[in-house]
A and B are shown apart, each in its own frame.
Chain A
Amino acid sequence: MTTLLDYCSLVRSKNAGPFTLTFDFMCHDQAAYDALVATGFLDKHLFSTLYGADPDRILVVNHPSALAVKVSLPRPTVQGGPHDTDCYAGQQYAPLMDMEIAQT
């Protein structure tokens, strides 16, 4: 079974302003980056399902210079407001870590 940590040296979630949640997936090396992108695992459907976002408002960007994939979407709750549980959005990536990634 392969998971994100087989490809990534850092998986991070952050605020991109109070209304946007953003994820960075930094790969170990070129081979890991190419392999992760080829799996197509990090797609709009996955983030729509997990974080309840409209797929049309999800941005997935491959960044070869950084060997990284970036995903941004509307923040499920506005940062720091009523019922937000993670002001820096720093733990929101966690459900992705143990998901099995089908290899191509």
Chain B
Amino acid sequence: MKGTTLMELRILAPTGALGAGFDADALARGLAARPDVIACDAGSTDSGPAALGSGTPKLSAQAVTRDLRLLMRARDELGVPLIIGSCGTSGRDAGVDWVASLARTIAAEEDLHAKLGLIYSDQPVQRLQDLYDAGRIQPLANAPEIDRELFQRGHTVAMMGVEPLQEALRDGCDIVLAGRASDTALFAALPHMRGADPGLTWHMAKTIECGAACAIPPSANGLLATLRDDHFDVTTLATGTRLTPRSVAAHTLYENADPYHIAEPSGVLDTTGASYEAVDERTVRVRGARYLPADGYTNKLEGAELVGYQTVIIGGVRDRVVIDALPKLLPAAERYFHDKILDVFNGRVDPAGIDIDYRLYGAGAVLTGSEPDPLTPRELGVLITVTAPDQETAHAIATFVAHASSHLPIAEYDGLVSTLAYPYSPPEMDRGALYRFTLNHVATGVTPTELFRTVTEEL
């Protein structure tokens, strides 16, 4: 259709997450389509608050380097931008710097040259408190209560939309390593710059942001989206996988509260009118979604703070008498440990600041409060978790918790028995820090770029 004004943009999502791995031949199939941009995320909150709280990535340097090397080579071969968001799992500045250091090493080893853009999303405490004081930090659904001091206690990132990414692209960056970013923004940034339909663009981005998670069977491999004036096609790249209209439609359900209304910083994707049709076994054509611009721009904020340090003890019970007795003995054990803490630490440790938690696996530990069936196991797994303000205290308490828990007084028995089978010596293991998520909020009245800062360099 040369000579017409028809638009076609190809967006390659090579993997569901940088470091999760993908088949080299699936990537090659995507590259053969000559995509205009390659993008993927490298993080999520789905693995819990530890990455954001500690700054430590979830995946190994080896796994991330493996994927990044293939993508940097691919980008170089095609001469198109590579956009990676939520670097280092949490998208903290430390995560961006970590992936950047891996990229520098790869560039040197492979003799690759590119302009690198690093977009940082850590939020300084003063800025957050100013926003809070101005009433410009607003809760999203199911948000926890917050106060002004919260921002001092933990670490906060803002989630960027397309605009900081577009600035980096306009500035000529070949590789963009972004802090916390909306997954969809990574795929939507370039199409928006080229004037693609916003409804189709955001729906396309939502469809491919987890890679081939919506393929049958699902995998960590990639998808290719081909965005045209009034529809987009989505194609699965791994051999032996297929897409159906239903599998693509169902991806709007994934890790989302509402499949028809998906919030972005600048508005809401409305998929109510979307339709899905099969082109062939591997390709589905999608049309009909709308984008409803919001009245004002918002950036989501994510925060995590340290709760304490933990030492864990794992044991098991096989004797049915002990299995029956154990849940009834726990309240008495709690009182015993309270007094023991006062005694051992001579009043220096407040028992109220110590949490000693028994999880009885086989008897409802997985569902805790929502277990409807009274389970009576033949064998019981016991996980004891001690949480204290510091690791040394947690460990010290765990040593006598382990000792006492293996010598519980069983009323049915005359004399001492060992009530818990420990697989390890010593039984207690220091687990390190426990964090908690603190924010499910947005910053309002912001410009799309003011919460983020960009640094560029030549590789």
Residues of A participating in the B interface, judged by any CB pair closer than 8 Å = 14-20, 22, 24, 26, 50-52, 57, 59, 61, 63, 65-68, 70, 72, 74-83, 85-88, 91-92, 94-95
Given contacts A14-B255, A85-B359, A79 and B142 within 8 Å (CB-CB): no
Residue of B nearest to A53 (CB): B142
Given contacts A19-B142, A82-B434, A92 and B367 within 8 Å (CB-CB): yes
- Pairs across A and B, CB under 8 Å, 19 listed: A15-B255, A17-B255, A52-B369, A63-B252, A66-B253, A66-B259, A67-B246, A72-B257, A78-B144, A79-B45, A79-B437, A80-B47, A82-B355, A82-B434, A83-B368, A85-B367, A87-B47, A88-B47, A91-B366
Is there contact, CB below 8 Å, between A79 and B49?
A: yes
For residue A18, which residues in chain B have a CB less than 8 angstroms away from its CB? 45, 49, 437, 440
C-alpha spacing A52/B367, complex, angstroms: 12
Residues of B participating in the A interface, judged by any CB pair closer than 8 Å = 45-50, 141-144, 245-246, 249-250, 252-260, 274-276, 307, 355, 357, 359, 365-373, 387, 434-437, 440
Given contacts A14-B254, A65-B249, A67-B246, A82 and B307 within 8 Å (CB-CB): yes
Is there contact, CB below 8 Å, between A85 and B368?
A: yes
Is there contact, CB below 8 Å, between B259 and A70?
A: yes
Is there contact, CB below 8 Å, between B142 and A57?
A: yes
10 smallest CB-CB distances across A and B, nearest first, come from A80-B48, A81-B436, A65-B249, A66-B250, A19-B142, A72-B257, A18-B437, A16-B257, A74-B142, A66-B249
Is there contact, CB below 8 Å, between A19 and B437?
A: yes
Is there contact, CB below 8 Å, between A50 and B437?
A: no
For residue B46, which residues in chain A have a CB less than 8 angstroms away from its CB? 15, 88
For residue A76, which residues in chain B have a CB less than 8 angstroms away from its CB? 368-370
For residue A81, which residues in chain B have a CB less than 8 angstroms away from its CB? 49, 307, 434-437
CB distance from A55 to the nearest CB of B (A): 14
C-alpha spacing A47/B382, complex, angstroms: 28
Is there contact, CB below 8 Å, between B255 and A80?
A: no
C-alpha spacing A30/B121, complex, angstroms: 45
Is there contact, CB below 8 Å, between A19 and B141?
A: yes
For residue A85, which residues in chain B have a CB less than 8 angstroms away from its CB? 359, 365-368
Q: Which of A51, A59, A78 contacts B437 (CB 8 A)?
A: A78
Given contacts A82-B307, A94-B366, A95-B367, A61 and B259 within 8 Å (CB-CB): yes
Q: Which of B48, B144, B367 contacts A91 (CB 8 A)?
A: B367
Given contacts A19-B143, A80-B50, A59 and B436 within 8 Å (CB-CB): no
Residue of B nearest to A51 (CB): B370
C-alpha spacing A83/B45, complex, angstroms: 18
Is there contact, CB below 8 Å, between B249 and A20?
A: no
For residue B260, which residues in chain A have a CB less than 8 angstroms away from its CB? 61, 63
C-alpha spacing A22/B246, complex, angstroms: 19
Identify the interface centre among B45, B371, B373, B435: most chain A CB within 10 Å of its CB: B45
For residue B49, which residues in chain A have a CB less than 8 angstroms away from its CB? 18, 79-81
C-alpha spacing A16/B257, complex, angstroms: 6
For residue B275, which residues in chain A have a CB less than 8 angstroms away from its CB? 65
For residue B47, which residues in chain A have a CB less than 8 angstroms away from its CB? 80, 87-88
Q: Which of B50, B257, B355, B436 contacts A22 (CB 8 A)?
A: B257
C-alpha spacing A20/B256, complex, angstroms: 9
Is there contact, CB below 8 Å, between B142 and A22?
A: no
CB distance from A52 to the nearest CB of B (A): 6
Residue of A nearest to B440 (CB): A19
Is there contact, CB below 8 Å, between B367 and A17?
A: no
C-alpha spacing A83/B367, complex, angstroms: 11
For residue A79, which residues in chain B have a CB less than 8 angstroms away from its CB? 45, 48-49, 437
C-alpha spacing A19/B140, complex, angstroms: 10
Is there contact, CB below 8 Å, between A20 and B48?
A: no
CB distance from A56 to the nearest CB of B (A): 12
C-alpha spacing A26/B275, complex, angstroms: 18
For residue B253, which residues in chain A have a CB less than 8 angstroms away from its CB? 22, 24, 63, 66, 68, 70
Is there contact, CB below 8 Å, between A16 and B255?
A: yes
CB distance from A82 to the nearest CB of B (A): 6
CB distance from A40 to the nearest CB of B (A): 20
C-alpha spacing A74/B139, complex, angstroms: 14
Q: Which of B355, B370, B437 contacts A80 (CB 8 A)?
A: B437
C-alpha spacing A44/B120, complex, angstroms: 41
C-alpha spacing A20/B46, complex, angstroms: 11
For residue A59, which residues in chain B have a CB less than 8 angstroms away from its CB? 257-258
For residue B440, which residues in chain A have a CB less than 8 angstroms away from its CB? 17-19
Is there contact, CB below 8 Å, between B370 and A50?
A: yes
For residue A74, which residues in chain B have a CB less than 8 angstroms away from its CB? 141-142
C-alpha spacing A92/B372, complex, angstroms: 12
CB distance from B450 to the nearest CB of A (A): 24
For residue A22, which residues in chain B have a CB less than 8 angstroms away from its CB? 253, 255-257
Q: Which of A20, A77, A95 contacts B257 (CB 8 A)?
A: A20
CB distance from B277 to the nearest CB of A (A): 11
For residue B245, which residues in chain A have a CB less than 8 angstroms away from its CB? 65
Residue of B nearest to A18 (CB): B437
For residue B50, which residues in chain A have a CB less than 8 angstroms away from its CB? 80
